[in-house]
Structure 1
Amino acid sequence: MIRLLITVYAGLEHAFEADHLLAVNNLVTNRSKIKDALKDGMFWGIGHTSTIFIVGVIMIGFKISISENIFSYLEAVVGLMLVILGTIRLFKLLYKKTHSHTYYHSHPHTHSNGVTHTHMHAHTYTHSHPIAGFKHKHYDGTANYKTAFGVGLVHGLAGSGSLVILVISQIKTPLEGLLYILIFGIGSILGMFIASGLFSIPFTKSILKSQKLQYSLIIVSSVICIVYGFNIIYTNLF
């Protein structure tokens, strides 16, 4: 039982690594509801666990060794992914701000004493137009978690090598090793589930109503994501 809890904790701690948090943080800034952000974290964890398990089957089940150099290149791919995520998030933010318009209208209001006042109202609308080569899509209220799942898959590729090698050095049977990876994966799903919920709090409409502050947080997190991504690329390729 203690070993099981330690394995879950190891997976939970793994989810809180810097590159994981930066990627998911950029994903949840698109969410206005905490429950959608929590699902992002869950799908990231599922993708991450899927990749690690597949690599585990290859290395443990089929006894196929994978060069450490390959995993270094995969780490660089993670860095590239972080750069892309941060860049896309900044683009979406700037594009949204560019297409926000404020409309004013007034209407008279008569009190019981016969005095009439005119009230002025302002409404801000945000809309988007199709970019050349892309189809125009309307948001229908359903959240898409494919991106979170894909990001988890890539992260799993990068971190799976060292984890599987560690498991191989300690296991007695292949089945025990794969079971360890699955339990570790459950811990990582739980960890990212918690992290995504915490990161989404500043971006929920009911918590932080200052749009300027939200924009500032998005810009800062996106820039950090891009810089950290370039650092990973440089570290693993040069």
Structure 2
Amino acid sequence: MLAALTGVLLGCWHVVSGPDHLAAITPLATESETERDGARVGFAWGLGHASGVWLVGLLLLAFGSVIPLELVGAWGERVVGVAIIAVGAWGLWRARGAAEHEHGHEHGHGHEHEHPRGGRSALGIGLLHGVAGSSHLYGVLPALALTAGARLSYLLGFGVGSIVAMGLFAGLFAAIVGRLPGSRERVRRWVLVGASIVAIVVGAIWLVLATVG
């Protein structure tokens, strides 16, 4: 029980304290119509993250030193950096489309607005984060010092904590965006622009640090 609780707490702290995590999820959460939709995107990211950590953890526990953990983590961080930049670029593209949509309504020839489903994207990006190096530090390495049963409990708790924490964060973020004053579409568009720019900057820094490190 103590191992599982420790895993939950570390999982929660890990996902909400990582700027790469928050930068990747905020553009997707911004596109959510309600806090429930935002929470679903966050839960999807958390599930992907937990799956990546569980995969690496089980492989490491099963095969030990055979797996080049540092090499996998280094390349994983590079891929994560590229993925965050891609999310930011996608967000800017979505914001541009929203601006054209708003302009079309102002001139009386609007079209049906499509709201994307970010769950699959969030799941994939979370999975990449789960196999990256920083996740090994908090999600896998502490389990090596525990007994066999406690290891599994800790890894399970870490995954559950990451799922719940990111779901709550994304839902709260979507709720805040939805309650900002002004035109709903215009506010969401400008928040999306800001979140996307932050994602590109964080992703670029992440990629540089992973490359030079």
Report the TM-score, using the length of structure 2 for normalisation: 0.86
- CA separation in 2, counterparts of 1:46 and 1:103? 40
Q: Which runs of 5+ in 1 are unaligned?
A: 105-122, 129-138
Tell me if structure 2 keeps the 8 A contact 1:41–1:189. yes
After superposition, the Cα gap between the structure-2 partners of 1:179 and 1:228, relative to the gap in structure 1 and judged at 3 Å, is same
Question: What corresponds to 2:121 in structure 1?
Answer: 147
In 2: Cα distance, 1:219 partner to 1:103 partner:
21
Which residues in structure 2 correspond to 1:97-136 (within 5 Å)?
A: 97-100=99-102, 101-102=104-105, 125-127=110-112
Identity of aligned residues (%): 27
Q: How much does 1:54 deviate?
A: 1.0
Structure 2: stretches of 5+ with no match in the other structure: none
Residues 113-149 of structure 1 deviation map (CA, whole Å, 9 limit, x = unaligned): xxxxxxxxxx673457xxxxxxxxxx5x894521111
The corresponding residue for 1:112 is none
More helix by share: 2
Q: Distance in 1 between matches of 2:121 and 2:204?
A: 21
Residue of structure 2 aligned with 1:194, choices 144, 162, 168: 168
Which residue of structure 2 lines up, in the alignment, with residue 171 of structure 1? 146
For 2:37, the equivalent position in structure 1 comes to 36
Q: Structure 1 188/103 Cα, relative in aligned 2: closer, same or farther at 3 Å?
A: closer
**Which residue of structure 1 aligns with residue 48 of structure 2?**
47
In structure 1, C-alpha distance between the alignment counterparts of 2:199 and 2:56, rounded to whole Å? 27
Superposed, which structure 2 residues align to 1:30-109 within 5 Å?
Answer: 30-63=31-64, 64-100=66-102, 101-102=104-105
Rg larger for? 1
1:125-177 per-position Cα deviation (integer Å, ceiling 9, x unaligned): 3457xxxxxxxxxx5x8945211111111110113432323321x1122x432
Listed one character per residue, the Cα deviations across residues 169-219 of structure 1 (whole Å, up to 9, x for unaligned) are x1122x432221111111111110111011112333x65443443322221
Cα displacement (A) at 1:4: 3.5
Q: Name the TM-score, length of structure 1 as normaliser.
A: 0.78
Tell me by how many angstroms 1:51 deviates: 1.1
